[in-house]
Amino acid sequence: MKKGKMSIKEMAYYAILIALNVVLTRVGSIRIGGGGVEIVRIGFGGYPIIFAGLVFGPLAGGIVGTIGDIIGHFASPMGPYMPHFTMTAALTGIIPGLIMMLFKEPKNSFWKLTVAIGVGQIVTSIFLVPYFMKTLFSVPMITTVPGRVIGQAVHIPLYAFITREIQKRLSVIYAGNY
């Protein structure tokens, strides 16, 4: 986004990433509920949010995460709507985007991507989501954190690798060069 204006092309990219997020999260994930709320979700729904933040910047990551979470909840709810999780979805895209802004070129280094994605996922997936599950629904963190740690040990390097390969193949290096 340049000078506060979003182009039609950017809106189209964000819409595709939002649609991917909703489909991968709500349809393409294994969802395990308990007590009227979703306790565990196994899938790749967070990747489009992370990709938006890494490639198009933190604002794009926040937009994709926020809109994707709101649409996804109302399309396929599992428990009541909680804005805490919408904020977490936004941060899932914002944090990696902000961290990538700190790095110098090349922006598609596997290790830089791993650090950016890792910090974001540790904050959001490993700490915030279990904390909100405990605070809002009394789900003990001891039951959610270990699985999330194992999941992120796989997701973080996988997401970094996929992002690097997509960037190489599409010649997308950083926001603005698309």
d(CA 94, CA 52) in angstroms, rounded, equals 9
Residue written as token pair 């193949």: 169
CA atoms within 13 A on the CB side of 51: 24
User: Which of 151, 175, 147, 178 shows the shortest CA–CA distance to 47?
Assistant: 151
Kindly tell me if the per-residue pLDDT of 173 is higher than 50.
no
Q: Please, are residues 140 and 23 in contact by the beta-carbon 8 Å criterion? A: no
| Rounded alpha-carbon distances, angstroms, from residue 6 to 38, 41, 56, 122, 176 | 34, 32, 11, 30, 12
Q: How far apart are the first and last CA of the chain?
A: 12
Question: Which residue type does 75 have?
Answer: A
Q: How many residues does the chain have?
A: 178
Sequence-ordered strand ranges (E) for 12-162 = 30-34, 37-42
The alpha carbon torsion through 9, 43, 137, 93 (nearest 10 deg) reads: -30
Mean pLDDT value across the chain: 88
Task: State both tokens at 97.
Answer: 């985007």
Query: What are the structural domains of the chain?
Result: 8-170 (1.10.1760.20)
Q: What is the pLDDT of residue 177?
A: 47
* pLDDT digit string, tens, across residues 113-148: 999 999 999 999 999 999 999 999 898 899 888 888
pLDDT digits (tens, 9 = 90+) for 80-119: 899 999 999 999 999 999 999 999 888 789 999 999 999 9
Q: Copy the structure tokens of residue 85.
A: 């999780």
**Model confidence band, residue 172 (pLDDT cutoffs 50, 70, 90):** very low
Cα-based distances in Å from 55 to 45, 59, 84: 17, 11, 25
175 in helix, strand or coil? coil
Give the CA-trace dihedral at 96, 10, 66, 110, to 10 degrees: -20
pLDDT higher at 33 or 104 = 104
